[in-house]
Amino acid sequence: MLSPANLSDYAAAAEARLEPGAWAYLAGGAGDEITLRENRAAFDRLRLNTRLLASMAGASTATRLFGLDLPHPFLLAPIAYQRLFHPLGEIATAQAASALGTPMLVSTLASVPMEEVAGVLGRGPGWFQLYIQHDRDFTLNLVKRAEQAGFAAIVVTADAPVNGVRDRERRMGFALPPGIGAANLAGLPPASPSEGLLGGALAAVPVWEDLARLREATRLPLLLKGVMTPGDAAKAMALGCDGIIVSNHGGRVLDTMPAAIEALPPIAEAVAGRVPVLLDSGVRRGTDVLKALAFGASAVLLGRPYIQGLAVGGAMGVAHVIRLLADELAVAMALTGCATVPEIDRGVIFG
């Protein structure tokens, strides 16, 4: 195969390599995949301005987030069950993340225990992504484990209290293969069965009071992931969240939601710089990172593309994906006259 030149090349190479069921799980979106496509289409519709003859002295993609110095304004989004895509799973991702200094968000549904991933991350930055479990004591224990393992922030994902309707997976009859599961949830008591739609799952969905309790339970920075409206961003801040992640979960949960990049400007306006706003869903190019920062994001998360790198080349594949995106961002910054991350502003967007 020719050497992958961009993140889409990794998508094609990963599709050729993965089991069709695993590919359907990774690539698919909810329903008619309208939101999945819109995440890309909305980035593609945005046009950029050049700004000529700007000085590039001291040019850098470096940024600071929650006291961490990052080499570039992007992080690796939490993605479940990474051993579906490579035998080493989250371990290989952590190797790449720590080598390049890119923060890795480790999922509650990781296929390797969080402590093992943290061991590989070492001093490399790691955040823990929390899915609030029906057993709230078990949930608080996950937070304690994350603190003890050295994770630097807790990200509560609130947009997927139930799985989206994902037709691609259902057509393939996708199920986790034996030996791959949610390693962090070993020992979780089963949810009590109840009547009605989706059984016990709905009775125990997380609510705002759960977020308030988590705020009391940890001193780590607490971020809420899945925010798509200014009203929810305001509630999260009122409860003491330290950051907001604008995301529609990569189009995997509620179909016909707007693109994340379209939801960002009013949210950034409402937050008004009080806490960092991050964004994911559809980031595939350095110009996408630039556009999100121009609309007020402090950083973005990268989802499927680094997993496609993992599937193709393990840790080296993840590292190459990170490098490709970082290099594209540097070029986009130079061509729009932004020497540093704080210089990226609305002026780079045409119209």
Ligand X SMILES: Cc1cc2nc3c(=O)[nH]c(=O)nc-3n(C[C@H](O)[C@H](O)[C@H](O)COP(=O)(O)O)c2cc1C
Of 250, 276, 309, 317, the one binding ligand X by CB under 6 A: 250
How far apart CA 53 and CA 57 sit, in angstroms, is 12
Residue 281 contacts ligand X per CB under 6 A: yes
Q: How many residues bind ligand X (CB under 6 A)?
A: 23
Question: Between 66 and 85, whose beta carbon lies closer to ligand X?
Answer: 85
Length of the chain: 351
Question: Between 291 and 337, whose beta carbon lies closer to ligand X?
Answer: 291
Residue 35 contacts ligand X per CB under 6 A: no
Q: Which of 72, 86, 134, 249 is catalytic?
A: 249
Residue 86 contacts ligand X per CB under 6 A: no
Residue 303 contacts ligand X per CB under 6 A: yes
Question: Between 41 and 59, whose beta carbon lies closer to ligand X?
Answer: 41
Residue 109 contacts ligand X per CB under 6 A: yes
Residue 308 contacts ligand X per CB under 6 A: no
How far apart CA 94 and CA 99 sit, in angstroms, is 8
Question: Between 39 and 95, whose beta carbon lies closer to ligand X?
Answer: 39
Residue 304 contacts ligand X per CB under 6 A: yes
Q: How far is the CB of 286 from ligand X (least distance, A)?
A: 14
Contact 59, 333 (CB under 8 A): yes
Question: Between 30 and 333, whose beta carbon lies closer to ligand X?
Answer: 30
Residue 111 contacts ligand X per CB under 6 A: no
Q: Which stretch binds ligand X (CB under 6 A): 5-13, 118-126, 193-201, 279-287?
A: 279-287
Contact 277, 301 (CB under 8 A): no
Residue 283 contacts ligand X per CB under 6 A: yes
Concerning whether 134 is annotated as a catalytic residue, the answer is no
Residue 280 contacts ligand X per CB under 6 A: yes
Residue 78 contacts ligand X per CB under 6 A: yes
Residue 320 contacts ligand X per CB under 6 A: no
Of 302, 329, 332, 344, the one binding ligand X by CB under 6 A: 302
Could you say which residues in the range 132-161 bind ligand X, by CB under 6 A?
157
Residue 225 contacts ligand X per CB under 6 A: yes
Binding-site ranges for ligand X (CB under 6 A):
25-26, 39, 77-80, 107, 109, 129, 157, 225, 247, 249-250, 252, 280-283, 302-304
Catalytic residues: 249
